[in-house]
Amino acid sequence: MTPPGENAPRLKRGVLFVRHYLLALQFFTRVPVTGRLAAWVGFSPAMLRASAAHFPGVGWLVGGLTAALLFGLLQVLPAVAAGPWVAAMASTVFGVLLTGAFHEDGLADLADGLGGSMDRERALDIMKDSRIGTYGAMALVLALLSKVALLALLAQVDPILAATALFAGHVTSRLVPLFVIRTLPHVGDTPTSKSKPLAERIGNAGVVIGVLWWAVAMALVVWALPAAPWSQAILGALIGLAWMWRLLRRRLQGFTGDGLGATQQVSEVGFLLALAIALPASLAGGGV
């Protein structure tokens, strides 16, 4: 018989897990965590740091909802060439609305900063400007067009593949910024930075939680479509991570919140692009 109170530490950890996840939703999406629920969740810099482990868990919700919309639209839209493009655009818009363009804003700010000056300090100052410049606008347009085009392409191959890839891409691209936080120092105007609570590197336990969120998601998509080239897609996301990690280290000597958002965007495009490139070989082998 279990002694009274023996399960209390386990229950406390479970409650903290839920609170940290809800805080991640509150901070990184527009999902309403308000009122009494927000009061129960609470807030502190330490909690926000802990919530970083749940970035991939946020991808579960955002990716799951956008994937469901994409698949649903593909079922009801006319079976014409424009159908997959409309579905891809609508699901992308929905994803932006769910997150409040949080990551896209980071991509635009980073592009403006790095494109606007080769000087590190000047680049950091430009990134704090809320106005969008030429480099930021171009980065946004190219990233959004890339995602819409790749989703439309995958949807023409197989609607289930497109929806599954969208879900997996969201989860995977939200895992890779954890390795940036883990391996690079936080830079910039730390006292006023939105990412100030992330200035302390995420611990091993946080990385493990993030990897578990991701591993369960990938196990589901591999089970659903075992013949799809998921390993190549993951490699594409890792290439995006490596490129962004090198860029942030070389130009800024560390990461900012904008850098994390840009890393998510680049890795998501890398995931979808590598999957699309690997499809011809997979189809030739009778897969998907």
Q: Report the pLDDT value the prediction gives residue 50, as an integer from 0 to 100.
A: 84
10-24, 75-89, 105-119, 229-243: least confidently modelled range: 10-24
Polymer length in residues for the chain: 288
Residue 109, token pair as written in the block:
């700010």
Q: Is 150 within 8 Å of 273 (Cβ atoms)?
A: yes
Rounded distance, CA 108 to CA 95, Å?
17
CA atoms of 268 and 91, how far apart (whole Å): 14
Q: Residue 59: name the closest of 219, 169, 223, 205 by CA.
A: 169
**In the beta sheet, which residues pair with residue 245?**
none
Separation between Cα atoms, residue 238 and residue 62, nearest integer Å: 21
pLDDT for res 190: 53
- Mean pLDDT for 170-186 is 95
pLDDT tens for 192-238 read: 555 555 556 688 888 999 999 999 999 999 999 999 999 999 999 99
Distance CA(34)–CA(30), nearest Å, equals 11
pLDDT band at 283, cuts 50/70/90?
low
Q: Is 272 exposed, middle or buried (0-12, 13-18, 19+ CB in 10 A)?
A: buried
- Quote the CA–CA distance of 216 and 54 in Å, as a whole number: 13
In order of 20, 68, 247, the CA distances from 166 in angstroms are 24, 10, 26
Q: Where are the beta strands (DSSP E) in the chain?
A: none
Per residue in 9-63, pLDDT (tens digit) is 666 777 888 898 999 998 888 988 888 888 888 887 888 888 889 999 999 999 9
Cα dihedral: 39, 41, 43, 44 (round 10) = 140
Please tell me the predicted confidence (pLDDT) of residue 27: 87
